[in-house]
Structure 1
């Protein structure tokens, strides 16, 4: 596993990028709660260029910050690294925001017929999507660097919160990834995890080994979606037990 200094740098940087992403996402939620629900398409057409630009700017900023972080992180591990900084994809951002914005609003309206409820759903989905999209600046830069730089051997998923969701815990428990062919980081809206690069094959840390053992026990006899559901129930049960007096 990375040195204590490198791990500390990762935690510090992770909090920094989360603060930026969540600030932008909160502003978007506030904007969405002020939507003109009587004419959602016109409202979106007016505000979407500004919203998209803010996401683009945030993602670009985190990609540049990731370059400095990756260079420092590698140096702490005794490696000279030239990170590969990604360029945001405006079309991808526009599509994700539209689906989380007016499309989500209309979908909820078809279900409930309640404009207030539909606006809340839209605001929540836009907030989650914005967090994920802005964080892609860091995540994609890290993963592109892993894929294209021979100095990097692998990567490990690092949780950004004290209580990551069952999905993220499942992925953390799978341990480090060393194959360049699997240079993909799975995330979801509001996910706070990030990839941390590795420069040599290393033993899994104790917390990852514990998660792997728990997964094997909790999902014994299950596969596919049934295994994932068994794992989710296991995590929920653990947390409820820990919270009980």
Structure 2
């Protein structure tokens, strides 16, 4: 059977597209709708398609656990719907940015709408891994920004950890093999807090969250990114370079600039 999390990622992409198309279609059919109507429309679409996204996450959690013969874990925890006030405030912002044009506002709203649609799925994975004591990984989408790639490079983590590194078994330690910089001894750290990672998604971000039950569940791209993080942000002696995030950002800027030049 195909990896349910790959299927889930495709479901999220298509759900976000369908939600955006529904918004455009409704606004194009009634371009003079009142601001209150536009806000209500965005809220209704968010509720409808956000529920679809959440259901996809529940399916992936259930299916992944069944395939791993771990059906005795605590049941997945569905996320709450996105806060209506947050959605309507974003719709109001889009209208202001579009000078009151609902047609233009719908285009402005496309980015936030996609985030709102995906958030219940991301929160469901976060809630469910926290409840079950399993691990959580961020899988970067195509063209992910350096910030998203940095978060993904932490690997599979426990929601309660403050040291975010890929675990070996249940030890929650760094992977033993690092082909790029095996001398690095540190990892990622962050200030712990409720839902700290779950809310670190931006507009137009197609990263997905997945549960990790075994080390073999970690996608290759995440292991590669973790190796790359150590190569870029630690020196040859294994010491942390100053301002790791800046070094990472510059690394990806240079890498993408060079890739762009290769096509000219």
**TM-score, normalized by the shorter chain, greater than 0.5:** yes
CA distance in 2, matches of 1:235, 1:193: 17
For the aligned residue pairs, the C-alpha RMSD in angstroms reads 3.1
CA distance in 2, matches of 1:96, 1:204: 33
Gaps of 5+ in 1: 37-41, 110-114
Tell me the equivalent position of 1:237. 254
Tell me the equivalent position of 1:140. 123
Tell me the equivalent position of 1:193. 207
Tell me the equivalent position of 2:6. 11
8 A Cα contact 1:97 1:126, kept in partner: no
8 A Cα contact 2:49 2:117, kept in partner: yes
Tell me the equivalent position of 1:214. 228
TM-score (norm 2): 0.69
8 A Cα contact 2:22 2:45, kept in partner: no
Q: Residues 205 and 134 of structure 1: is their aligned pair in 2 closer, same or farther, counting only changes over 3 Å?
A: closer
CA distance in 2, matches of 1:228, 1:35: 44
Q: Residues 30 and 233 of structure 1: is their aligned pair in 2 closer, same or farther, counting only changes over 3 Å?
A: farther
8 A Cα contact 1:52 1:93, kept in partner: yes
Cα deviation 1:18-38 (Å, max 9, x = unaligned):
1011221243356667755xx
CA distance in 2, matches of 1:62, 1:157: 16
CA distance in 2, matches of 1:231, 1:30: 41
With CA pairs under 8 Å and 6+ residues apart, which has the higher RCO, 1 or 2? 1
TM-score (norm 1): 0.74
Q: Residues 178 and 102 of structure 1: is their aligned pair in 2 closer, same or farther, counting only changes over 3 Å?
A: closer
CA distance in 1, matches of 2:224, 2:4: 24
8 A Cα contact 2:42 2:87, kept in partner: no
**3-state secondary structure, aligned to 2:34:** helix
Among 89, 99, 105, the alignment partner of 1:98 is: 89
CA distance in 2, matches of 1:124, 1:232: 29
Among 71, 76, 82, the alignment partner of 2:62 is: 71
